[in-house]
Amino acid sequence: MNSEFDVIVVGGGIAGLTAGLVSARLGRRTLIHTSELLGGHLLSIEKIEGYPGHPDGIAGYELCPLAQGQAADAGAEFAMSRVEALSPEGGMWRLVTARGNYAARAVIVATGTELKELGVPGEMLLRGKGVSHCASCDAPLLSGKPVVAVGGGDSALQEALTLAEHASKVTVLHRGERSTAQQSFRERVAAHPRIELRPSTEVVEILGKDAVDGVRVRGLSGGGAGNGTGDLETAAVFVYIGLRPSSALLTDRVSLDSTGRIPVDAQMRTQLRGIFGAGTVRSGAAGRAVAAAGDGTAAAIAADRFLDDSAWPD
């Protein structure tokens, strides 16, 4: 593989795959580089709703391979290894990785986010033994058993609906007084006979020795389990309490916003000439798959314009 490209896309989620697809279709020699599986978080989503062209929704593990195939057919190249640094060199940007270095005049950073952890006793000990972030992966193994989902946003409620297809009961615990999820998810959860929503409740410990067998919860002011602590039987705990931006690549080069995300303008340009941001790693991201794909498109078009100096003002 030639180490010089017109555009390097760092990140293999739907934003990065779309950016690579559009960039390659614009005739730019494009590399999509990722340190994780292509598709990112969407690979664990059973049904992505609201994505144009899919009125009944589409699984993330179907959508992402389709986008990857389209990008490959358009001419994008792929590489996978740990990214170590990004630095300017001779009018280009050099991407240093564990398996070699690559260079391009334009770089689109679409590194996405990481799932936050509860940070409570038992969580790390029981990771993979009942503590999970993937309902579609593990729900079939929990048929007829009670489970817990932690979080009050779209991901928690969407995954609770997936879990309820298999589990005997799904208890959704979240610290807030009300869910912040989309109205459609709230309505479906409220109507589901096997899902119980318990607000104003936090998990203080995950219980079990060789596998999860319960959670210790504490009620917060306003309801939930009351103001005391108690134990809840469960065979698994699915954690969806938010996302942490994977912006370390630019931490020392740009001023990140208060959430740790990369500020961009309307054309996805960062403070650095030739560096663009797209998807959930960028400031103000909507947190929707369709919005991330739109970001990738906008960033690829902006990078193409940047490479055509005559059309790009300073």
What residues pair up with 71 in beta bridges, in sequence order? none
Which residue from 126, 165, 171, 173 is spatially nearest to 143, judged by alpha carbons?
165
Pair (10, 107) in one structural domain: yes
Domain of residue 109 covers 4-115+243-311
Last residue of a domain, one of 208, 239, 270: 239
Is-contact 136 162, C-beta < 8 A? yes
Any domain includes 125: no
Instruction: For residue 159, tell me if it sits in a domain.
Output: yes
CATH code at 11?
A: 3.50.50.60
Same domain (yes/no): 9, 149: no
Q: What string of pLDDT tens digits covers the 314 residues of the chain?
A: 569 999 999 999 999 999 999 999 999 999 999 988 888 888 888 888 889 999 999 988 899 999 999 999 999 999 999 999 999 998 899 999 998 999 999 999 999 998 899 999 999 999 999 999 888 888 999 999 999 999 999 989 999 999 999 999 999 999 999 999 999 999 999 999 999 999 999 999 999 999 999 999 999 875 544 557 899 999 999 999 988 999 999 998 999 999 999 999 999 999 999 999 999 999 999 888 999 999 999 999 999 999 997 445 55
Last residue of a domain, one of 239, 272, 289: 239
Residue type, 308: D
Q: What total number of domains does the chain contain?
A: 2
Q: Which of 189, 219, 239 is the endpoint of a domain? A: 239
Let me know if residue 124 belongs to a domain: no
Does 123 map to a domain?
no
Specify whether 166 is located in the same domain as 254.
no
Residue 192 in any domain: the answer is yes
pTM, two decimal places: 0.84
Do 54 and 97 belong together in one domain?
A: yes
